[in-house]
Amino acid sequence: MEPPATDLAALDDATLARRIATGPAGAEEAELCRRLLRRARLYGLRHLRDPHAAADLAQQVMLMTIERLRAGALRDPAMLASFVLGTCRNVVIELRRTHARRERLLETYASDEPEVVPDDAARLDHARVADCLRTLPARERSILIMTFYAERAAPELAAEMSLTEANVRVIRHRALQRMRDCVDAGGRP
C-alpha cells in the first residue's frame, strides 16, 4: 500500500531517493518528481532566462535523476542535490547549443511567433501588484521597475542614477518587502 501524500511531503529528498533506489516506489517517485520539476525549472529560468527552455530542462533533469536512482547508480542519496546540479549544468550547455541553432533558424526564416508569457505570471494578482506599485515611494518604484523590467543588476542602476550599489540594494530590498506586505494585505499599503 502506498504511503499517504502528507507523509511523503514530510520526508526529505534523501529518504525518497533511498526508497526509489531500493524498489518499486511510485508514490515516492511522484513526490520527488514534483519537487525536482519546480526546483530545476527555477534553475533553468535563472540560467537560461527562457520559460520554454526552463521547462525542457526541468523535464530532462527530472527524468535523468529518476532513471539514475532506479538504477541504483547514485551511491549517496544525501548527495542528490549535487547530482541534480551537475545534471542541470550539462543540460543547460546542451539547451544553449539548441537555442543558438534555433536563433539562427529564426534569423533565416523570420518567424512571427508570439511572445509567450510564463506560467508564473498568472499566479499573482497583477492588478493588485500594480496598485501596490503605485503606493510605493517614488524612489523605490523607479528602482523596482528598472530592476525587474529587464533583470538589471545593482551596479548598472547605481551608475545611471548616481547612487551607490549598496544604496540600490537597500532601496530594492525595502521596496520588495513593502510590495510583499501590500500584496498580502490585499493591495492596501
Partner 1 sequence: MKAGRCAGAVELSTLVEYWLGELDAAHEARVDEHLLGCDACAHGLDDIVQMGAAIRDGFVRGSVSAVLSAAFVRGLAASGWRVREYRVPSNGSVNCTVAPDDDLTVARLQASLAGVERLDVVRIAEGEVLERLANVPFDPTAGEVVFAPAMTGLRALRDQTVHIQLVDAGGAAERVIAGYDFNHAAWNG
Q: Which residues bind partner 1 (CB under 8 A)?
A: 13, 35-36, 38-40, 42-43, 45-46, 80-82, 84-85, 88, 118, 120-121, 123-126, 129-130, 133-134, 137-139, 141-155, 157, 160-163, 169, 172-173, 176-177, 179-180, 183
CA distance 182 to 189: 5
**Rounded to the nearest 5°, which phi and psi values hold at 165?**
-60, -40
Tell me how far, at minimum, the Cβ of 51 lies from partner 1, in Å.
Answer: 10
Tell me how far, at minimum, the Cβ of 24 lies from partner 1, in Å.
Answer: 24
Rank residues 25 and 154 by Cβ distance to partner 1 and give the closer one. Answer: 154
Give the three cell numbers for residue 168: 540600490
CA distance 61 to 47: 14
Rank residues 35 and 70 by Cβ distance to partner 1 and give the closer one. Answer: 35
Rank residues 109 and 149 by Cβ distance to partner 1 and give the closer one. Answer: 149
Tell me how far, at minimum, the Cβ of 1 lies from partner 1, in Å.
Answer: 25
Tell me how far, at minimum, the Cβ of 2 lies from partner 1, in Å.
Answer: 21
85's CB contacts (< 8 A; 6+ apart) are: 43
DSSP label of 124: S
Rank residues 25 and 143 by Cβ distance to partner 1 and give the closer one. Answer: 143
Rank residues 25 and 36 by Cβ distance to partner 1 and give the closer one. Answer: 36
Tell me how far, at minimum, the Cβ of 84 lies from partner 1, in Å.
Answer: 5
Q: Is 13 in contact with 1 (CB distance < 8 Å)?
A: no
